[in-house]
Structure 1
Amino acid sequence: MLKVQELREIIKLVDNSDISEFTYEADGTTISMKKLQENKLVVQPESNTPVTETPSVPEVKEEPVRKQEEVPTAKPEAETTEAKQTDYDYEIVSPMVGTLYAASSPEADPYVSTGSKVEADTVVCIVEAMKLFNEIEAEVNGEIVEVLAEDGELVEYGQPLFRVKKQ
Structure 2
Amino acid sequence: MSDSKSTPSNVFNVETVRALVELMKQHDLSEVDLREGDQKISLKRGSQAPIYAAPAPMPVAPMQQAAVPVSVAAPAAGGGETAAPSDSHLVAIKSPMVGTFYLRPKPESDPFVRVGDHVSDDTVVCIIEAMKVFNDIKAEISGKVVKVLVKNEEPVEFGQPMFMVDPQG
TM-score normalised per structure 2: 0.48
Which structure: greater helix fraction?
1
Which structure: greater strand fraction?
1
Structure whose alpha-carbon radius of gyration is higher: 2
